[in-house]
Amino acid sequence: MKKLLIVEDEEALCLLYKEELSQEGYEVTTVYDAEKALEALNRERFDLIITDIRMPGRDGVELITQIMGLRRDIPIIINTAYESYKEDFMTWAADAYIVKSSSLDELKAKIKELLRR
Amino acid sequence: MIERYQFLAPDFQSKEPKELALLSLISQSFFQPFSVEDNLLVILTALTSGSGVGFNRAMLFQAAGDKLKGEVWLGPRSAEEAKTIWEVLSTPGIGYIEIIEHNRWLLNREADSLSQRIRPLAYSLNQKNLSIPALSAVRRELVLVRDARQESFIDPKFLEIINVDEFLCVPLFSREEVLGVIVLDNAYTGQAIEPKDVKLASLCGLMAGNYIYASTLHKKMLEMERMAALGEMSMFITHQIRNPLVAIAGFTDQLLNSPNDEDKKKRNLEIIRKEIKRLEELLFKLTHFLKVGTAKAVPFDLGPELQTILRSSEMKMKSKGLALQIDVEEPLPKILGNATYVGEALRNLLSNALEATAKGGRVTVQVRWESPAWVIVDIKDTGKGLSPDIKKKLFTTYFSTKDKGMGLGLLYVKRVMEACGGKIEVESEAGQGALFRLYFKTSEEGRSDA
């Protein structure tokens, strides 16, 4: 079973993603901030990371930089409410940039695509 | 021994060389709080007053798109009027503000017949078929016309209006573009325009060009700052709306897809309700936030307002095991602001201090009448303090160290302070607690009992 790490500071969204993606057959771990994400990454191996970018404390862009230094081989999806961050060059380091929407189809499709590679 | 001098312009009517008086007057336009139009008029005045360069009249054409358009024509309408106006401007001690007032009067007279006559004039700034005065602007050269009626490249309409044989065109330009032209003449004295007049006028032209350019840049900069703030704000709103929407949609879809899942029904509906409430709160806070900027600042007593706020904070602090120390100077003058918003700003800061400070810590509120014009409110805590990084982001829309904070709190406080002509400063180092200092303008300057 493929393991996903979701970094999301919105409580309700954490729950939603966890339930919806578990149903797709993934093992899902959710954390609320970048610190917890790094802890989890040091503890276990994930196949894909989904992260927001603006969060309390260390933000997602910083997190991506650190993950890249840590494990270069894990695909990263930025999943955020902000459209404008697409142009931020640090977000280019991620494999996909998804703007949160009322449908989770795009997110699900992207996860599938990246895990197939 | 040292001698100290102020950057004051020599008197308009003084023993100083008139060139010096003139240039110092024009240099002041950069620092005067008046509109570009007013300041340009002072430059025209400097060129036309008896103790300035001494031209009789000055016309200003300004570039608008690819056209040069007549704007203002400053000067007396007759020889008699010339005498009175020049007398006014030669009054000893007359300064920048007096000249501005004089000019406004001059242009508001029942019939500002001079300016009205040049306003219909517009000249193309394209290279082909250039006529005076546009020629001077495009070529960036001063043009002295000696025998106007003999020249073919002067617009006949212009000649009819100016009605003199001799006049001088001074171009105004910046590095990139043509800004305008000043046309000077001696219609009443008939005095010939001499090389030294041309030199001095050229210097004035350069400075006026610099001035217009600097003002334009300044205006653009302010506009960009406003746009940036707006962009930041809209990003923040997008974020605040999109997250609850995604949750509402997601949990609704779950219910639609599996209508018989009784466990999820109640839970999902509760989540949806909570997210809707969040959206409602956001709307309330935003409306409130936007209103602050339009609230009028009026004199009010800070004392009673503060007492109410402190009483309710004191209870919260006690229950958290914090000490609240209050030190309010008496008497205090009335301060300028909107009592409701100022109250909320103070509550905001106190609640931040409360949250940042651990049990056993102390929050200090100190109010003092610092100087006749300012009352200072210090809110200090012994909490975890702010790192330089956090301090930098403190007053931006999205920033919040709290898990559930909207990040509007401190921006709100800043907006309240700006709306009442005051300001907020923060002093803090990580681990050293934080001090938020509010500066309020007093409504009357000076202590009555002093």
List of domains in chain A: 3-101 (3.40.50.2300)
- A54 contacts B239? CB cut-off 8 A: yes
Instruction: Determine the residue of chain B that is closest to A33 in CA distance.
Output: B403
Q: Which residue has the higher pLDDT, B268 or B20?
A: B268
Residue B156 pLDDT > 90: no
Strands B143-145 and B122-124: unpaired
Q: Which two tokens stand for residue B252?
A: 């609704």
pLDDT band at B449 (very low <50, low <70, confident <90, very high): very low
Residue B398 pLDDT > 70: no
CATH code at B298-441: 3.30.565.10
CATH code at B18-220: 3.30.450.40
- A20 contacts B251? CB cut-off 8 A: no
Least trusted range by pLDDT, from A76-85, B1-10, B175-184, B308-317: B1-10
Which of B211-246 are b and which e, b meaning 16 or more Cβ less than 10 Å from the residue's Cβ?
bbbebeeeeeeeeeeeeeeeeebebbeebbebbbbb
Q: Nearest by CB to A20, which of B238, B250, B274?
A: B250
Edge to edge, the sheet with strand B374-381 lists B323-328, B362-371, B374-381, B434-441, B423-428
pLDDT band at B376 (very low <50, low <70, confident <90, very high): very high
Percent of chain B with pLDDT over 90: 25
Extents of the domains making up chain B: 18-220, 222-292, 298-441
Count CB neighbours of B444 within 10 A. Answer: 11
Q: Nearest by CB to A12, which of B247, B400, B405?
A: B247
- A102 contacts B247? CB cut-off 8 A: no
Residue B353 pLDDT > 60: yes
Does residue B396 belong to the interface with chain A, where contact is any CB pair within 8 Å? no
Q: Which residue has the higher pLDDT, B242 or B115?
A: B242
- B243 contacts A13? CB cut-off 8 A: yes
Kindly provide the residue ranges of all beta strands, DSSP E only, lying in B20-89, ordered along the sequence.
57-64, 67-74
Question: Which single residue is written with the structure tokens 């509010």?
Answer: B438
pLDDT band at B185 (very low <50, low <70, confident <90, very high): very high
Mean pLDDT of B323-346: 90
* CB-CB neighbors (< 8 A) of A32 in chain B: 403
> Do B152 and B141 contact (CB within 8 A), yes or no?
no
pLDDT band at B53 (very low <50, low <70, confident <90, very high): low
Tens digits of pLDDT across chain A (117 residues)? 999 999 998 899 999 999 999 999 999 999 988 888 889 988 999 999 999 886 655 566 777 777 777 766 889 998 988 877 777 656 667 888 899 998 999 999 999 999 987
What would the DSSP string read from start to end of B233-263? Answer: HHHHHHHHHHHHHHHHHHHHHHHHH-TT-HH
Contacts of residue B370, defined as CB under 8 A and 6 or more positions apart, other chains included, come to B376
* CB-CB neighbors (< 8 A) of A19 in chain B: 254
Torsion of CA B229, B234, B239, B240, to 10 degrees: 100
Mean pLDDT of B103-123: 77
- B250 contacts A104? CB cut-off 8 A: yes
Least trusted range by pLDDT, from A27-31, B175-179, B266-270: B175-179
Question: Which single residue is written with the structure tokens 């974020």?
Answer: B239
| Chain A closest-CA separation from residue B59 CA (Å) | 49
Does residue B349 belong to the interface with chain A, where contact is any CB pair within 8 Å? no
- Confidence (pTM): 0.59
Least trusted range by pLDDT, from A1-5, A42-46, B36-40, B116-120: B36-40
Which fold would CATH assign to domain B222-292? Helix Hairpins (1.10.287)
* CB-CB neighbors (< 8 A) of B405 in chain A: 56
Q: Which two tokens stand for residue A75?
A: 């695909």
pLDDT band at B33 (very low <50, low <70, confident <90, very high): confident
- B243 contacts A54? CB cut-off 8 A: no
Does residue B400 belong to the interface with chain A, where contact is any CB pair within 8 Å? yes
- Per-residue model confidence as pLDDT tens digits over B54-66: 788 889 999 988 8
CA-closest candidate to residue B363, choices B323, B328, B318, B312:
B323
Separation of alpha carbons B421 and B296, rounded Å: 10
Does residue A14 belong to the interface with chain B, where contact is any CB pair within 8 Å? no
| Chain A closest-CA separation from residue B388 CA (Å) | 14
Separation of alpha carbons B43 and B41, rounded Å: 5
* CB-CB neighbors (< 8 A) of B235 in chain A: 82, 84
Separation of alpha carbons A78 and A76, rounded Å: 7
The per-residue pLDDT for B165 is 92
Best of B242, B263, B272, B386 to disrupt the A interface (most A CBs within 10 Å) is: B242
* CB-CB neighbors (< 8 A) of B231 in chain A: 84
Q: Which two tokens stand for residue B54?
A: 């001494």
Best of B237, B243, B270, B386 to disrupt the A interface (most A CBs within 10 Å) is: B243
- B403 contacts A32? CB cut-off 8 A: yes
The per-residue pLDDT for B404 is 45
Mean pLDDT of B194-199: 89
The per-residue pLDDT for B284 is 85
Instruction: Determine the residue of chain B that is closest to A54 in CA distance.
Output: B398
Map B95-140 to HEC letters.
CHHHHHHHHHHHHHCCCCHHHHHHCCCEEECCCCCCCECHHHHHHC
